Every structure is written in structure tokens, then in C-alpha cells.
Amino acid sequence: MPVALTIGNFDGVHRGHQAMLARLIEAAEDLQLQPAVLTFDPHPREYFAHGDAPARLSTLRSKLDLFRAFGVAVTWVARFDARLAALTAEEFIDDVLVRSLNARWVLVGDDFRFGRGRAGDLALLRARTRPFSVEGMRSIDIGELRASSTAARNALAAGDLMRAADLLGRSYAISGHVAHGDKLGRDLGFPTANLPLRHRPPLSGIFAVRVHGLPGGPHHGVASVGLRPTVKSDGRPLLEVFLLDFDQAIYGRRITVEFLSKLRDEERYSDLAALARQIGTDVNHAREYFAAHA
């Protein structure tokens, strides 16, 4: 079936991406085409950077969920590997967009680059428009900042959750399945829901959070995102959430942790007793935050 197509990595699906998706849906309805997205996994920068790529704002699953919420009918996830990286810009247009995806209308950002060596651009797409029409979309400014994945990533790294929410159009959140941990939190008096992270997160520290996907509606909590330097040295990031006034077994449940306010940076403590005292302080600060923002 012929499609109206937009192409990109869409990391974070920020407000600039959302404007593109809205334009895609509008054009698809006008042209009586199926609205579709072509995205990539892994991110091309992850492929070329070999372990030194920027932190991901969103998982593939969360991107797909957001695409569906905006009305996208079909999403193609192209595995970015050596074969795809070797395609020339002309081959990408002819083999992927025309023959494989049957694109009849294509929307890209005005800074879109594609093909081997990033040789393709909006001008090349427009020069080969016999099978389809092409539209370029300008970036969206949020205040003095261009809405971009980089800007959202920088705001999160700085702990500026309000700025990140402005850029994303929603509070930043991480979703995942609750896994068994080493039960250290329970031993300290603060049992946690543990979400292992496959990729380096864009933020770290201790946060007041709202947790969705649990019985009884959203619940308040305190989350730690990072490497747990007091108790671990394996360098693997973990998201741990202590839920306020909640005590139920939730292993295996998929939850979404919505980050509301940063309380402090992650620190190393001399012993577990000092860590437990600090966690108690964090819980009190979180309760104060929620009381002030009821």
C-alpha cells in the first residue's frame, strides 16, 4: 500500500518530532495514504561511535508506543548495520523508499542527511521526485532553544527537568519491567523496585518521581539512577525506585517512572549505615516536594 512517510531517529520523540508526526498525519489524510515512519535501531551514531554514543532518550518500545499514540499506522524499524551504512544516497532512495516502502510523499527535517558518508540531503531527495513528492520541515523553537534530542539530553544531564519537559512536551520517563535485585534496599529498610537499563541513561542522581502501572493508580516515590558507587563497581546503570506508602510484590510488572524533581547527585558513602541515613533524608525531601505540589 502506498504511504506518506517520515524518516528519522526520533530519539525522545520531542516537540519537534511531534510537529513532524502531526504534519505526516495531516498529509496522509489529504492524500489518502497510509501514515508511516521509518526509523533506525541502533541509532546510527551508536553504530559509528563504537560505545561512545550519546545517551538514549527513549527505548525502541517507547518510541513505537508514541508513534501509535500520534496515529502512525505503520513503523518500519531498519537495523542500522554495515549493509545499510554502505548504501549510497541514490540507492537508499531507489531501493528503500521507492521499491521497499512504496513511498508517495516524504517528510524530513531540513537538516536531514542520509546515505553513505551522509551524502544525501533534502536537495537530492527533491531532485529525484518522480515517484514521490518531498516536503522539508523547519525545526521548532521552544523559547530560545531549538527543540532537539541534544537539547533535551543536555537539560536532563544538568538536572533541569522543567526544561527537558518543555522540550519533550511531557515529563521525562523511563519504562521497564521490575526485576529481582540483590535485596540490599530491603536490608536497609527501603525496599526498591529495580529496573535494569540496557543503555546509559541521560540523567543520574536522586529524584522525586511518579510511578505508573501499579495497582491503585500512580504512586509517589524516590528514584536513584546511576551506578550505585557505594555498593557496586561493575559500571552497570540501574534505576531503583522506593515507593512511598506502598508494599506489594510487583516483580515482572511493567512500570513507567516519571521524573519530577532532582533532589541531589549520586554520591559514594563510607558505609551502608551512612547510605541508609541519606536515603531517609531523601525520602523526607521527596515527601516535602509532593506536599508542596499536591
Give the count of domains, the chain. Answer: 2
235 pLDDT exceeds 80?
A: no
CA distance 99 to 39: 17
Q: Is residue 156 part of a domain?
A: no
Structural domain boundaries, residue 89? 3-149
Based on the fold, state whether residues 123 and 193 are members of the same structural domain: no
Q: Is residue 166 part of a domain?
A: no
179 pLDDT exceeds 60?
A: yes
Q: What angle do CA 238, 242, 244 make, to 5 degrees?
A: 160
Based on the fold, state whether residues 121 and 188 are members of the same structural domain: no
Beta bridge mates, 179 = 194
Query: How many percent of the chain have pLDDT more than 70?
Result: 95
From 116, 149, 182, the end of a domain falls on 149
221 pLDDT exceeds 70?
A: yes
Based on the fold, state whether residues 244 and 284 are members of the same structural domain: yes
51 pLDDT exceeds 90?
A: no
88 pLDDT exceeds 90?
A: yes
Number of Cβ within a 10 Å radius of residue 259: 23
Query: How many percent of the chain have pLDDT more than 90?
Result: 74
Residues 116-152 have pLDDT tens digits of 999 999 999 999 877 789 999 999 999 888 999 999 9
From 149, 181, 204, the end of a domain falls on 149
pTM here is 0.91
Q: Is residue 204 part of a domain?
A: yes
Based on the fold, state whether residues 145 and 15 are members of the same structural domain: yes
Based on the fold, state whether residues 143 and 175 are members of the same structural domain: no
162 grid coordinates:
522543567
Based on the fold, state whether residues 213 and 287 are members of the same structural domain: yes
User: Per mean pLDDT, which range of 5-9, 85-89, 102-106, 265-269 is the poorest?
Assistant: 265-269
Based on the fold, state whether residues 13 and 145 are members of the same structural domain: yes
pLDDT at 187: 65
Report the CATH number that the domain containing residue 113 is assigned in CATH: 3.40.50.620
